[in-house]
Structure formats: C-alpha cells, structure tokens
Amino acid sequence: MGAWRLVLAWLVVADHTAGLTGITGNLGLGKIAVATFFFISGFLMPLTFDTHYRAYGTRIGSRKFYVNRFLRIYPIYWASLAVTLLAVIAYGPSLMEHATTLQDLTRVRTYLSNALLLGLNQTRAWGGDFRFNPPAWTLDVELQYYVLVPFILWMTVWNRRLPSALLIVFGVVSVYLFFRPVGLLDIDRSLLAWSSFFLLGYAFYLSPRLQRLAQCIPLLAGAILIALVVMGLSNHQNVAHLFATLACMIVSAHLLVLQKNRGFGPFDRLLGDLSYPTYILHWICVQLIFRWLGTRFGFLSATQEFAALLLLNVMGSTLAAYASLRAIGYPIEALRRRIRDGKSHRGVPE
C-alpha cells in the first residue's frame, strides 16, 4: 500500500510536468490520483481512530486524533510554504504567476489563509484566491474530513440511522457536483463536492463482505478491465475520469485489505511515508527544475523532453520528500507516538 500511495503522488507530479497535455491530451492524472487518495483516507481515518483512539473515550480520543492529524499535516506543509517563499525572494514573483493576482502577495489575509490551511478554498471568506502551494487545496478538503471523522464514528454508535441518512445525502450531492461543478471554488473544492470518494472508502471500511470480495483477484481484474473499457469508450471527460478513478480505487481496496491484515513491511512503510511530502513539495520542485533546466531540452522531441522533465521532477520531488522526512517528519513522528501513548497496530498507518 505504501508503494501504491507513492505512485499516486508521482501521478500528480506527472500531471504538473510541462508537456503532458501536448502529448496525451487532458488525461486528468492529478484528478484521478487525488480522488483515489480521498478514497484511501475514507478507509484509513476511521480505521486509525478505532484502532488508536476510540478506547480513550469521546473527548480524549477525539483530542488525541486531532492533535496527531495536525502534526501529520502541518509541519511539512509549512516547510513547503517556507521553501516557496524563499524561492520567490530568490527568483522574483514570476514563480507565483500560476495564481490569480500578484497583488495578493501584499495582503495579510493571503498569508493567514495559507498558514491556517483549513478553509483555504473558501475564497469568498478570505477575499481572494491565492495559494502559495496550489496542490494544498486538497489538504483543505482532507482536513474537513478529519474534523468530521470522530463525529461520524461516535454518532454511528449513538444513532446509526441519522448519520447514515446524512452521509447518503452528502454522497448524492457530491456525485451531482462531480459531473456538474458550479464554477465556485468555495463549493467545487470543498468536502461537499468530494465527499462521495471519502464515503466510498468509509463504506468499504464498514463492510466485511466488501473487504472479502476485495481479496478475490479474478473478480477485481474483471472489474478493472470493465472500468478501463468504459473509460476508453466514453466521450464525456468526467465519465472517463470517474471510471479511471474507480479502477484505481479497486486496486486501492485490495491493497488496503492486505495492509489491514498483514501490516507494513519496513520498505513499504518508507514508501508510504514519502507519499505525502512528495505530493506537497512537488510543486515548487517542478517550478524550480523547469526554471533551471527546462530550456536545455530544446533539442529533444516533445515526448523525449516530457520524459526527461518527468524523470527529473519525480527524482527531485522524492529526494526533497526524503530530506523533509529526515529533518521534520521522523522527529514529529516520535512526538505523535508519545501522544498516542504507544497504543499501536502494525497494520495501521498514521
């Protein structure tokens, strides 16, 4: 599972590598990978909560869960902001031209919204849309889900029907918004618009029957083949993206069950640990590599130039991720384990 999560992060790197669209058209690799990450989180977060935190009770268990999630996400994310701002100081604001307007660089609320992260996509509340690290929009959606996880799990214990009904409504609205986005970032990049993927992961976590089916490789292979055929035949871009995502989710479901039953090997755990910092650090790595080396590949064909840049981007992002793990991630992980009081399960990543 750890290796698969890193591959998904590399798909996002590929999606942001110059030249991909000109070669293959809009494959939507980033969108597919992000939706698959949301499905994985939908499964792993309630599993993590039940395994490590439920025994503490409602108040203490929820507090420990939130603190650990904060420590998992924010330190490396803040490091990505620091690196980005240093790059802007060194190379000028042209690095930020992917955002809406450079005037936002003079606004205090721009820095505040980026530092807080939760609510980053609610642009009307902040009066502007400017992300120093553009892929961070997905972290805002993830954090919204994290906030709800303890409530969903405790509500399920107290009253099973009410949370089920609410989650069904959320899922239906989310599917509608997937095919018909409203064009407003506050909604299109909110948990409401992406909740169907989290809820599918959560439903998979709750269903032992589905988890048994996920171990039947011939059945999964057939389902993946059907999804890929539908994707290839579809003329509607969102439908093609949805079925490609379903194929990735099926692979994820099988690996999640294997991980739950067997746990991580040391190398697979390392690869899984690299997935988040690779994802959150890749944007600035891609920008800097293209600035330093992009013009030197003019003698290559379009395909060769893309391949060379992709290799450099993957290597650079992964090396930066490993450095961040050594400098920030591993020391923070020791603190997280102390907060968790040593209650661990070898098959559950945090």
Length of the chain in terms of residues written: 350
Residue 296: burial class (beta carbons within 10 Å; 0-12, 13-18, 19+): exposed
Q: Is residue 327 part of a domain?
A: yes
Q: Is residue 165 part of a domain?
A: yes
Task: Calculate the alpha carbon distances from 234 to 55, 167, 228, 240, 241 in Å.
Answer: 47, 29, 10, 6, 10
CB 231 within 8 A of CB 247: yes
pLDDT at 176: 86
* Total tally of structural domains belonging to the chain: 1
> Distance between CA 314 and CA 309 in Å, rounded?
9
pLDDT one-digit tens code per residue, 135-166 = 999 999 999 999 988 888 877 666 666 566 77
> Distance between CA 155 and CA 47 in Å, rounded?
16
Residue 279: domain span:
2-339
CB 309 within 8 A of CB 22: no
Q: Is residue 349 part of a domain?
A: no
Q: Is residue 113 part of a domain?
A: yes
Q: Which residues contact 260 (CB under 8 A, 6 or more apart)?
A: 47, 211, 347, 348
Please name the residue that has the structure tokens 């309630």.
Answer: 46
Q: Is residue 348 part of a domain?
A: no
The Cβ of residue 292 has, within 10 Å, a number of other Cβ atoms equal to: 12
Q: What is the mean pLDDT of residues 114-122?
A: 91
> Distance between CA 173 and CA 160 in Å, rounded?
21
Q: How much is the pTM?
A: 0.90
Look at 111 and 129; give whichever has higher pLDDT. Answer: 111
